[in-house]
Structures are given as C-alpha cells and as structure tokens.
Amino acid sequence: MAHFLIKRVAFMVPTLFGVTLIVFLMLQIVPGDPVNSILPPDASEADRARMIQEFGLDKPLYVQYFSWLFHIVQGDFGRSLIKRMAVNDLLFESLWNTFLLSMAAGIVSFGLSIVIGVYSAYKPKSLIASLANIIGLTGVTIPNFWAALILVGVFSVMLGWLPSSGMSSIGGGGPGDLLAHLILPAVAAGMTTLGVMTRMVRSTVYDILQQDFVTTLRAKGVSAVTVLRHVLRNGMPTILTVAGLQFGYLLGGSVLVETVFSWPGVGQLIYQAISQRDFPVIQAGVLMIAVLFVCLNLIVDLFHGMIDPRVRHT
C-alpha cells in the first residue's frame, strides 16, 4: 500500500509540471501581441519597449516559462493587467466562491441522487424509478447554461421568488440572503452531476441487492433499515469515488453557470479575463483549477486504492 501511495504521489510531480507547461503554452499561441492590447494605439516606441521589458517578453520562451514557474511556486501570480491589483487578491476570493457553489451543487445532487437512486434500485418498476431514468438522461444531456436560464425564467421572472444574479443583495445580507442567491445556481450547476450520480447509485445499489448476502440478511429477519445500512456501506466506496470525480468536474465546469448568474467565482473571473485579454489572470485561474483537479484526482485514487486492493497492483 505504501508503495502504491508513493508511486501515485510521485506521478503527480511530472503531471503538475505538464499542467503548468500546457497552461503556459496555451497563452503563447494567442495570436497577436499582448502588449498591443494593453497599450493605447498611439503609444510611442519607447513605451512599447519599456513594457516589453517590464513583462520580460523579450526573453526566450523557456526563460519566461521558468521565471513564471518560479513565481507561481512561491504563490506570486503577478499583477492583473486590467485591474491593477495583485492576481492573488482576485483569485482566492473567487476560488472560495466557486468552491461554495460547487459544494452546494454537490450536496444537493449527491443527496438527491442517493435518495432517488436507492429507491429506484429497490423498486425498479415504480414511478420513482421511471423518474430516475428521466433524471439520469436529462441531467447528462441538458446544457447547464440553458437549465440555468430556465430556472431564472421560472423562479425569478415568472414567479419572482428568487434573485437572478449575484451572490448577495445590494447592501449586503445575511446567510438567508446568501442561500436565496445560492439555490438556483447550485441546482443548475448540479444537474449533470445529479444525472450521472442517480444512474450510478441506482446501478450500484441494484447490483448489491442481487448479491447473496442480502438474501441471507433478509432471511435472518433483519430489519429493512439494517439491510439498507449494509447495502450502503457496501456501495459507498464506489459511489464516493465517483462523487469525488464529479466534484472535480463541478469545479471546472462552473464557468457557464457563473456567467448566467453573475456569480463571482473563478469561472467568471476567467471568462472576464478572456474578453479583456488579462493574461496573468487567465493563467492563474486555469492553473489553480487544474491543480485542484489533479489533487482531487489523487485523493480519489488513493481512496480507491485503499478500499479496492486490485487497483494497487496495476
């Protein structure tokens, strides 16, 4: 087990290296001169030259890469080109907001999927089971930005129950206000996860129910609640593994939902930075999410290795 652990963690290092390389290269292929987009068109040659030097753009590519990497590792993501602040300040607050959103989406979809999934595994011919089918299919195919718009259309415009954008009302608000702002985005963001998890929970629990030990338990006259407890304990490892991975997708895919709801998260930050060509922000945002994703995958893998010995020996 220790061997597996060490090997897996060791693999992370070149992976992270590769990730930073790709993020760096991604912005190198942007057509056009980054300096041009910052300076006004009538800037003098001297101004241009100074700017190029300031950003180290005259140095060879690998030098730029390593000096950027050097700063990153120390936590210095540079300064935003547009907003004239340190990227760190922008970044960490928005990361937290995205995390909040993803957690909410995760809890909602995870909770619902377990309830619906388990029920439909127990009663495969019921109405709920058909509902589970529909949820499973819809969740996976529906574009989440469209679902977001529907939710806004129904709950904000037509019914007026919930706010349609932002994280809090003007003038600030308490936790209740935050919750009101959180519900719609969380539901929209969580739809795909709900679909995937419902299908997965249902098939996992269904398979477990077919096993002999369940029949034995029932024959022994054990209460249904206890049986359920055993079933869940059996299925949790697989379910949690998938849930962990899905959380990663939530983090990464938040951009679309955040844009619709103007939710001040990393996704929106990246998106705005793209339209403003604010490269340090784009780089930092994409990189942070990717790093989080890699770490999350590592945790999930280790967890998987812990519970399923076969994985350790691939």
Partner 1 sequence: MVQSNTGAVAEKSIFASQPKEESQLRLFWEVFYRNKVALVSLIVLFLIVASCLLASVLAPYDPLDGKVTERLLPLGTHGHILGTDEQGRDIFTRILYGGRLSLLAGVMPVLIAACIGGFLGVTAGYFGGVLNTVIMRTLDIFYSFPAVLLAIGISSALGQGMLNIIIAISIVFVPPVARIAESAVKGVMAEEYIEAAKSSGAGHFSIIWNHVLMNIFSKMFVYSTTQISISLVLASGLSFLGLGVSPPAAEWGIMLNNLKQQIFINPMVTLIPGVFIFLSALTMNLVADGLRDALEAKK
Residues at the interface with partner 1 (CB under 8 A): 14-15, 18-19, 21-23, 26-27, 29-31, 137-138, 140-146, 149-150, 152-154, 157-158, 248-249, 251-253, 255-256, 259-260, 270-271, 274-275, 282, 286, 289-290, 293-294, 297
Query: In whole angstroms, how close is the CB of 234 to partner 1 at the nearest point?
Result: 27
DSSP conformation class of 120: H
Place of tokens 């979809």: 109
Query: In whole angstroms, how close is the CB of 151 to partner 1 at the nearest point?
Result: 11
Query: In whole angstroms, how close is the CB of 27 to partner 1 at the nearest point?
Result: 6
79 three-state secondary structure: strand
Query: In whole angstroms, how close is the CB of 95 to partner 1 at the nearest point?
Result: 13
Query: In whole angstroms, how close is the CB of 264 to partner 1 at the nearest point?
Result: 16
Query: In whole angstroms, how close is the CB of 131 to partner 1 at the nearest point?
Result: 16
Structural contact between residues 188 and 135, judged by C-beta atoms closer than 8 angstroms? no
Phi first, then psi, for residue 79 (nearest 5°) are: -115, 145
Q: Which is nearer to partner 1, 239 or 255 (CB)?
A: 255
Q: Which is nearer to partner 1, 107 or 150 (CB)?
A: 150
The total of other beta-carbon atoms located within 10 Å of residue 104's CB is 20
Place of tokens 């300040």: 89
Q: Which is nearer to partner 1, 57 or 137 (CB)?
A: 137
Phi first, then psi, for residue 86 (nearest 5°) are: -70, 135
* Integer Cα distance of 272 and 274 in angstroms: 5
Q: Which is nearer to partner 1, 197 or 231 (CB)?
A: 197
Q: Which is nearer to partner 1, 157 or 170 (CB)?
A: 157
For residue 260, what are the contacts with CB-CB under 8 A and spacing of at least 6? Answer: 145, 148, 149, 152, 185, 188
Phi first, then psi, for residue 125 (nearest 5°) are: -100, 5
For residue 232, what are the contacts with CB-CB under 8 A and spacing of at least 6? Answer: 118, 205
Residue type for position 284 = A
* Integer Cα distance of 95 and 274 in angstroms: 17
Structural contact between residues 201 and 114, judged by C-beta atoms closer than 8 angstroms? yes
Query: In whole angstroms, how close is the CB of 186 to partner 1 at the nearest point?
Result: 17
Q: Which is nearer to partner 1, 230 or 259 (CB)?
A: 259
Q: Which is nearer to partner 1, 217 or 293 (CB)?
A: 293
